[in-house]
């Protein structure tokens, strides 16, 4: 009997990748196939398995990449093949996400499934705009309404009288195209023209944009501001709670979309700190580590060892364990190329030193690192023979990361590129070229920041126009550069 498949209908939340539930994140990591919608933040795809197959099911008004029937067929096909399938939907799959139709199709085909709820946009986007959808003094009821439906005109066919007179706060989804009809119907069925209205576009993301008005004037304001979907129309007294920037919009790096160059499989601490300050960060390209466990005869026991990264430390100690070798057989001293690497040695209860502490006249040094790092260090340590270098691992690019880049590019969310080192310039540029992009074209719409002169020289040689070189290669200097007016991309919509 073959392995049984299962389809997980997962709510991805309204945009912020931190709003996915723990269960949704777990299933995404385990998925062999991921079918995702247009309103799913592409950055979520970076957390799927490197081996997962991605299928884009984007839907726009009057334009469908895959029709619903085809999506149902794919879910059934992969489920019957015994695969773990995640159907990733923006917001909550049960709120205008057509999860009922997909669940019914799976049920009829005998494919097991689970529904994993998510945070719906009407609540999440409002909260990120600083507005609670209920409030003891302003709103004791809340309703979510589709802003367009299957009627010939696309205008929602609902009980307007009950809605206008009986519900305090109303969230219309994807209704900007029908905003005049919605405002007219609410007013004509008894809602005051002075009722506050808040429009929230791309809620909970760095592209979040808001517009306040009333039922009487919101149509004109939205037209002037060229407001478009995806957006929530929030009608009710609670909308007036928003005064200026919300807690989310006031973060120092809000609305900045950063591509942080990456050269290993480790996520950057800098990347997380930038996210904490409100930036949307794409660490690109995503890399996968392949270990080259050493044979016992290849493990040096009587020479000093220089580790080029924490990963090389991990592979070395994994090799000792695989060969059942006692650490006491290693007679040489341990060195790390960076404080982070020295710290990795300490995690194995070994004392590591920085290279500055080593006697330059000491015995032969053996350098352990990834294959590309070894090539770089061979040039630096050209006086050392080739056999004194050991490749502990290699990095390969995860193919799906290119799909994430393309989706972000289509949504105009590649605005600033950061090169922390020379190696990142190489890996990023190769990935761009695989997507059919050139450094020259990227530089026309994205600003480029380099940590130092060496990374600048590499970037210029590759074809980029470099806009800024940090005063010092630190996180603090990067943060200050991003805060400068010429690097603040916040405000196209402020």
Residue 302 and residue 280 in one domain: no
Alpha-carbon torsion angle 170, 172, 178, 181, nearest 10 = -20
Residue 130 and residue 237 in one domain: yes
Alpha-carbon torsion angle 351, 357, 363, 369, nearest 10 = 60
Q: What is the pLDDT of residue 62?
A: 53
- Give per-residue pLDDT as tens, 358-399: 777 676 789 999 887 776 666 665 544 445 889 999 999 999
Kindly list the distances between the CA atom of residue 265 and the CA atoms of 287, 371, 418, in Å, as whole numbers in the listed order: 5, 14, 17
Distance CA(324)–CA(330), nearest Å, equals 13
- pLDDT over 70 percentage in the chain: 93
Nearest alpha carbon to residue 478 among 245, 252, 247, 206 = 252
Q: Point out the catalytic residue in the list 16, 37, 333, 370.
A: 37
| 261 bridge partner residues | 284
Q: What is the pLDDT of residue 107?
A: 97
Q: What is the pLDDT of residue 424?
A: 94
Kindly list the distances between the CA atom of residue 414 and the CA atoms of 418, 443, 457, 490, in Å, as whole numbers in the listed order: 11, 11, 22, 13
Residue 316 and residue 458 in one domain: no
Residues sharing a CB contact under 8 Å with residue 148, sequence separation 6 or more, in sequence order: 61, 154, 155, 156, 174, 175, 177, 178
Among residues 119, 137, 166, which one ends one of the domains? Answer: 119
Residue 142 and residue 235 in one domain: yes
Q: What is the pLDDT of residue 429?
A: 97
* Residue 37 known to be catalytic: yes
287 dihedral zone (left: phi>0; alpha: psi -120 to 50; beta): beta
* Residue 184 known to be catalytic: no
Q: Point out the catalytic residue in the list 83, 84, 174, 251.
A: 174
Kindly state whether residue 362 falls inside one of the protein's structural domains. Answer: yes
Kindly state whether residue 478 falls inside one of the protein's structural domains. Answer: yes
Residue 227 and residue 310 in one domain: no
Burial 205-225 (b: 16+ CB within 10 A, else e): bbbbbbbbbbbeebbebbeee
- Give per-residue pLDDT as tens, 270-314: 999 999 999 999 999 999 999 999 999 999 998 899 999 999 999
Query: Looking at the predicted structure, is the pLDDT value of residue 346 above 90?
Result: yes
Residues composing the chain: 494
Which whole number is the average pLDDT over 218-230?
Answer: 96
Residue 136 and residue 229 in one domain: yes
Query: Looking at the predicted structure, is the pLDDT value of residue 168 above 90?
Result: yes
| Residues 366 and 303: beta-carbon distance below 8 Å | yes
Q: Average the pLDDT over each of 102-106, 140-144, 369-373, 410-414 and give the range with the smallest value.
A: 369-373
Please count the structural domains in the chain. Answer: 4
CATH code of the domain in which 438 resides:
3.40.50.10090
For residue 285, whether the previous peptide bond is cis, meaning omega lies within 30 degrees of 0, is: yes
């Amino acid at each position: 009997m073959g392995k049984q498949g299962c389809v997980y209908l997962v709510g991805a939340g309204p945009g912020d990748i931190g709003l996915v539930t723990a269960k949704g994140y777990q299933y995404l990591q385990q998925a062999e196939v991921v079918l995702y919608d247009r309103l799913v933040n592409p950055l979520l795809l970076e957390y799927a398995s490197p081996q997962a197959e991605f299928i884009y099911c984007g839907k726009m008004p009057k334009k469908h990449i895959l029709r619903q029937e085809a999506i149902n067929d794919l879910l059934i096909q992969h489920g019957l093949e015994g695969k773990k399938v995640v159907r990733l939907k923006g917001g909550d799959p049960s709120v205008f996400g057509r999860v009922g139709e997909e669940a019914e199709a799976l049920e009829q085909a005998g494919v097991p499934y689970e529904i994993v709820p998510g945070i719906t946009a009407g609540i999440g986007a409002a909260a990120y705009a600083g507005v609670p959808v209920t409030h003891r003094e302003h709103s004791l009821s809340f309703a979510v309404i589709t802003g367009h439906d299957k009627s010939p005109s696309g205008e929602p066919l609902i009980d307007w009288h009950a809605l206008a007179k009986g519900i305090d706060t109303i969230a219309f989804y994807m209704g900007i195209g029908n905003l005049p009809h919605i405002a007219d119907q609410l007013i004509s069925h008894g809602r005051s023209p002075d009722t506050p209205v808040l429009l929230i576009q791309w809620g909970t993301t760095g592209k979040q944009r808001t517009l306040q008005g009333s039922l009487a004037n919101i149509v004109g304001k939205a037209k002037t501001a060229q407001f478009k979907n995806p957006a929530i129309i929030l009608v009710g007294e609670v909308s007036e709670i928003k005064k200026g920037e919300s807690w989310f919009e006031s973060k120092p790096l809000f609305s900045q979309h950063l591509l942080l160059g990456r050269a290993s499989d480790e996520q950057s601490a800098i990347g997380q700190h930038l996210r904490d300050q409100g930036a949307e960060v794409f660490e690109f390209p995503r890399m996968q580590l392949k270990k080259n466990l050493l044979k016992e005869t290849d493990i040096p026991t009587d020479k000093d060892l220089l580790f080029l990264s924490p990963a090389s430390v991990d592979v070395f100690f994994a090799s000792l364990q695989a060969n059942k070798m006692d650490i006491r057989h290693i007679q040489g001293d341990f060195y790390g190329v960076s404080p982070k690497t020295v710290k990795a040695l300490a995690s194995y209860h070994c004392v590591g030193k920085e290279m500055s502490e080593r006697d330059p006249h000491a015995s032969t040094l053996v350098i352990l690192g990834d294959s590309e790092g070894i090539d770089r260090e061979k040039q630096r340590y050209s006086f050392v023979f080739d056999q004194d270098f050991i490749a502990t691992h290699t990095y390969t690019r995860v193919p799906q990361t290119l799909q994430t880049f393309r989706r972000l590019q289509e949504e105009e969310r590649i605005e600033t590129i950061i090169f922390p080192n020379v190696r990142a310039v190489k890996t990023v540029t190769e990935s761009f070229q695989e997507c059919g992009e050139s450094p020259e074209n990227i530089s026309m719409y994205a600003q480029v920041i380099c940590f130092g002169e060496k990374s600048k020289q590499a970037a210029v040689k590759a074809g980029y126009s470099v806009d800024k070189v940090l005063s010092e290669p630190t996180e603090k200097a990067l943060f200050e550069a991003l805060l400068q007016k010429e690097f603040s991309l916040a405000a196209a919509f402020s």
